[in-house]
Amino acid sequence: MLKSIIGEKIGMTQVFDAKGNLVPVTVIKAGPCVITGLRTVEKDGYLAVQLGFGEAGEKNLIKPQISFFKKNNISLKKVIREFRVTDISAFSVGQEIKANVFKTGDYVDVSALSKGKGYAGVIKRHNFSMQPVSHGQSDRTRARGSSGSGGPQKVFKGMKMSGHLGNEYVTIQKLLVVSVDVEKNIMLVKGSVPAVKSGILLISNTLKKIPIKQEETKVKTKAKINKK
């Protein structure tokens, strides 16, 4: 089963869990997506499923894209992304993928283009500390300071300096899926995700290790005791 989908960030809200705790969640419109293409080892060298999301007009696409959708009898899509899989035998072009690929309790990785914040100094961009507000340094309190001494007097690549903040692809890993509304294709994910409102999100099953539930731990412990 394909454990990936394209979504749109709606915003944030709060919900109560089963224990009565207030949980901040991000509301995501997860799909529906349409499979627009399949990648095979023989032709492309890898296995992947190409998904399309969101409706688009002909004026927003180039002619090769329009002819591609019409050739496969698929409505024009705004976003197209590929997701790697291990087997494509269960998929076909035109098949619809909905939010039911995930369920409550799953963990997902969310990737998106982060919010652009323009040019920023080192305090905002890299969390530097301010310099002492003393001895008449009224114009140096938020300055970066020395670039280093005792070595080559040059700026090395990758040094933490002021510059463009945000507007880059970011992935937040292992976010808990709080609930899934299959009919409305709405998914609630615990915590915040990158992107502005109405931004495009790429949601996939997490690559990190999923924690074992307490009930499963108790069962394993009892099994070890019975063996002894």
What are the helix (H) ranges across 83-155? 122-126
61-96 per-position pLDDT tens digit: 888 888 888 888 888 888 888 888 888 888 888 888
For 4-116+169-227, which CATH superfamily applies? Answer: Translation factors (2.40.30.10)
By C-alpha distance, which of 200, 148, 182, 171 is closest to 32? 182
Would the pLDDT of 187 be above 50?
yes
Domain boundary assignment for the chain: 4-116+169-227, 117-165
Do residues 87 and 57 lie in contact, with contact meaning Cβ atoms separated by under 8 Å? no
What's the rounded Cα separation, in Å, for the pair 158 and 5? 34
Would the pLDDT of 220 be above 80?
no
11-36 per-position pLDDT tens digit: 999 989 888 889 899 999 987 888 88
Q: State the pLDDT at residue 221.
A: 47
Do residues 180 and 104 lie in contact, with contact meaning Cβ atoms separated by under 8 Å? yes
87-126 per-position pLDDT tens digit: 888 888 888 888 888 888 889 999 999 989 999 999 999 9
For residue 131, give Cα distances in angstroms to 1, 45, 139: 55, 55, 10
pTM for the model stands at 0.76
Instruction: Give the DSSP letter string of 178-198.
Output: EEEETTTTEEEEES--SS-TT
